[in-house]
Amino acid sequence: MTADATRVVLADDSLLLREGIARLLLDQGFVVEGLAGGPDELLQLVAAHRPDLAIIDIRMPPTFTDEGLRAAETIRATYGKAVGILLLSQYVDPTLALRLMRHGADGIGYLLKDRVSNLADFTDAIRRVARGGSAIDPDVVTQLVARRRVEDTLADLSPRELEVLGMMAEGRSNAAIGEALFLAPKTVEGHIASIFSTMGLSFQNNDLPIDVMTA
């Protein structure tokens, strides 16, 4: 299966948004297996198609709080890493991101909906998460850094990890961090895995691609 044959399902309560994203993905060669307007329909689609990735709005009917996240938790509990999960949110909420990633961020992404407008970054995030990596919005990283600074976790990071974390908070990609610090891609990924582990996110396989979306 080629990267462009990645199979996805998409769940968002906004008809305009989910149809628009679906059209963008189809134009880029992705296979869109189905669209859902709510969590129940999403779970049915995942069961029927076993896609490579589910793109999920965090806030969906009926309460518009965490229905999408709860559906994502069900998908992860049922299918493990066989189905990647890319969460989309209108607002930055690190608590929700941490909740899904508490058992590991392999095959997990968390992006603000504003990132969808950058098609190259968005499609790269989809492919990355679908093959078992992760994609974290830089605004989420910034708030995680602020939270962990209060908890004094940064004291547990090495000087090099602090450099990498600072660049992550600036929204730099893995490639940009490696270029700035003269580090190989695998070395950058290793530093990021160590950082996230120290911050309370457990990675099951540090060889998986871990990336922070560019701002």
93-125 burial, b at 16+ Cβ within 10 Å, e below that, comes to bbebbbebbeebbbbbbbbbbebbeeeebbbbb
pLDDT digits (tens, 9 = 90+) for 147-197: 655 455 667 788 898 888 878 766 677 788 888 899 988 898 888 878 877
- Residue 202 to residues 31, 56, 93, 99, 194, Cα–Cα distance (Å): 31, 22, 19, 12, 9
Q: Which of 21-25, 51-55, 163-167 has the lowest mean pLDDT?
A: 163-167
Model pLDDT, residue 169: 66
Model pLDDT, residue 135: 82
Model pLDDT, residue 90: 86
Contact 135, 86 (CB under 8 A): yes
Give the other-Cβ count within 10 Å of 19's Cβ.
13
Gap between the Cα atoms of 193 and 53, Å rounded? 22
Q: Which residue has the tokens 């134009």?
A: 27
pLDDT digits (tens, 9 = 90+) for 63-122: 988 899 999 999 999 999 899 999 998 887 767 767 777 667 788 888 888 878 888 889
Alpha carbons within 13 A on the beta-carbon side of 82? 11
Domains, the chain: 3-134 (3.40.50.2300), 139-212 (1.10.10.10)
